Amino acid sequence: MECPLEMGGRPEILLEPGAERHAAECARCRDWLRNLETTRQALDLWQPEPVRPGFDRALWQRIEAEEARRWWRPWRPLAPALAAAAVLVGAVILSSGPEPRPLAEFAEIEQIEQTLSDVQMLRDLGLTQPL
Ligand SMILES: [Zn+2]
């Protein structure tokens, strides 16, 4: 039998019949079984304290107070929809980009280009004096 503790397997295999031989040869498994037995004995000796009178009432009061503090709980089913709406609003804001340039600016650029083209044509025709 391979050591279940060294193989990272299930140590509860040590509780199955036939595992005693391995535990007799393996110190690590023997310690694991000894610790388990010690824990069992301690649990057998443990006596829980009796429940105080009024414990249930006090517990329910605390639970109700906690429930009242969580005012957002009724809104909880809407959380995915609110998150999706927030993402959508963010995407719209990010995709809007800078303001579009006014058409007048484009018209001005076209006018300048036309003027430069006219000047070039006049130069090509020799109708202007060189600067
Ligand atoms: Zn072992």
So what's the pLDDT on residue 101?
65
Is residue 14 within 8 Å of residue 4, measured between CB atoms? yes
Distance of CA 4 from the midpoint of ligand 1 (Å): 6
Distance of CA 37 from the midpoint of ligand 1 (Å): 16
pLDDT in tens, 33-69: 999 999 999 999 999 888 889 999 999 999 998 888 8
**Does the predicted TM-score (pTM) go above 0.75?**
no
Distance of CA 38 from the midpoint of ligand 1 (Å): 18
Distance of CA 65 from the midpoint of ligand 1 (Å): 51
* Average of per-residue pLDDT across 18-43: 93
Distance of CA 26 from the midpoint of ligand 1 (Å): 5
Distance of CA 44 from the midpoint of ligand 1 (Å): 27
> What's the rounded Cα separation, in Å, for the pair 114 and 19?
97
Above 60 in pLDDT, residue 22? yes
pLDDT band, very low/low/confident/very high, at 26 (cuts 50, 70, 90) = very high
Return the structure tokens found at 57: 């009432």
**Positive or negative: CA dihedral 60, 61, 62, 66:** positive
pLDDT band, very low/low/confident/very high, at 10 (cuts 50, 70, 90) = confident
So what's the pLDDT on residue 131?
54
Spans of all domains in the chain: 11-45, 102-131
